[in-house]
Amino acid sequence: MKGPSSLRTIKLAALLLAIAVSLSAQPVKEPTSAVSLERSQSIVYTDSTGTTIELDKIPGRIVSMGPNVTETIFALGAGASLVGRTDYCDYPRQVLEIDSIGTLWQPSIEKILSLDPDLIVVSSLANEDVLSALRKTGIPLAIINKQSSLAGTMEMIRDIGLLCGKQNESERLADNMEERIKAVEAKVAGLPRPTCYYVIDFGQFDSTATGDTYINEMIEIAGGDNVAKDGKYWTYSKESLAEKDPQIIVLSSHWGSDYEDTKRLFTTSSVYRDLSAVKNGAVYPIDSDAVDRQGPRTAQAIEDFARIFHPQAMEH
């Protein structure tokens, strides 16, 4: 089907790249990060590839190559150090005033060099050709690829805090998020778990949170029973969806002003329109950026899922 906006096409392209990487790449060993912050403010950090980065001071000019990295830097109060971001880094709003280096998988190396960064921080989405080119620049490069689980998300936040000289702030943020998540678990404990399906994309290409994804973990914590948990690699067949017939549909709202049009398209299309959730009006929007970008808004996303699955329990 044709997407209702160019933004949806861009988001789908990013998702397809992520799926291609997960299908083709060898598993990356994620060693325990080694970071030290001495009185001299020097930093020694071992990233997710086992590469050790040495900085003689807290970086004052950082290029972020990941929306979740950008959000985290701002959430820790280090936004003033950010001099470059990708086209997809759009939260918080003041990020848009920062120079863009291009897309996640085709950034401008020339633009990055012109920004004269002290550090480049890369999240999980980056192709090896780009990483190779960045390494050749000699600019310190930290690859943080830990977001396959909620525990990894907290590690990422703490790592970025250490790299930015915001260790105390990152500890407070991660601790607060963990407390909020535990509060959700306590509120939904023992309640019936409604069957649900999270729609990332639909039509010719159906994408959802399968059992091997971090979003499945979020859904379970929020008290839902993900019908696609037996799937893999973010894909699920319409036949399986129809057979499972979930009670609740959670529809990704990354289409912005086109969301209502997209909802109408979903609820009137073959297969989807026959689902019990659609017939019963149990189709709900959720902020997909908060869900998909593991970082400071992850606890909020879990709370949002829980409000859909257990609205009465979340009122207290």
Q: What is the pLDDT of residues 86-123, one digit of tens each?
A: 999 999 999 999 999 999 888 999 999 999 999 999 98
Q: Which residue in 205, 206, 227, 209 sits closest to 217, CA to CA?
A: 209
Across the chain, mean pLDDT equals 87
Say what angle helices 214-221 and 298-309 make with each other, to 10 degrees. Answer: 50
- The model's confidence at residue 256, banded by pLDDT at 50, 70 and 90, is low
32: pLDDT confidence band, cut at 50, 70 and 90? very low
Q: CA angle, corner 21, sides to 125 and 53, nearest 5?
A: 45
Indicate if the pLDDT at residue 124 is higher than 90: no
Tell whether the model's pLDDT for residue 315 goes beyond 50.
yes
What pLDDT, on a 0 to 100 scale, did the predictor assign at position 277? Answer: 98
Q: How confident is the model at residue 257 (pLDDT cuts 50, 70, 90)?
A: low
Alpha-carbon gap, residue 111 to 159, rounded angstroms: 26
Average the pLDDT over 273-292 and give the result: 95
Query: Topology of domain 29-180, per CATH?
Result: Rossmann fold (3.40.50)
Indicate whether 254 pLDDT > 70: no
Q: Are 211 and 229 in contact (CB under 8 A)?
A: yes
The pLDDT tens digits for 138-194 are 999 999 988 678 899 999 999 999 999 999 999 999 999 999 999 999 999 999 999
Is the model's pLDDT at 85 over the cut of 90?
yes
pLDDT tens column, 200-250? 999 888 999 999 999 999 999 999 999 999 999 999 999 999 999 999 999
Confirm if 71 and 296 have CB atoms less than 8 A apart: yes
Q: What pLDDT digit, counting tens, does each position of 54-79 carry? A: 999 999 999 999 999 999 999 999 99
pLDDT of residue 10: 43
Please say if the pLDDT value at position 7 is more than 60: no
Q: Using the predicted structure, report yes or no on whether residue 22 has a pLDDT greater than 60.
A: no
| 15 confidence band (pLDDT: 50, 70, 90) | very low
pTM, rounded to two decimals: 0.85
- Residue 253, pLDDT score: 80
- Do the first three CATH levels of 29-180 and 190-314 match, i.e. the same topology? yes
Beta-bridge mates of residue 44: 36, 54
Domain spans of the chain, in order of start = 29-180, 190-314
**What is the residue type of 178?**
E
Q: What percent of the chain has pLDDT over 70?
A: 86
Top CATH class of 190-314 equals: alpha beta
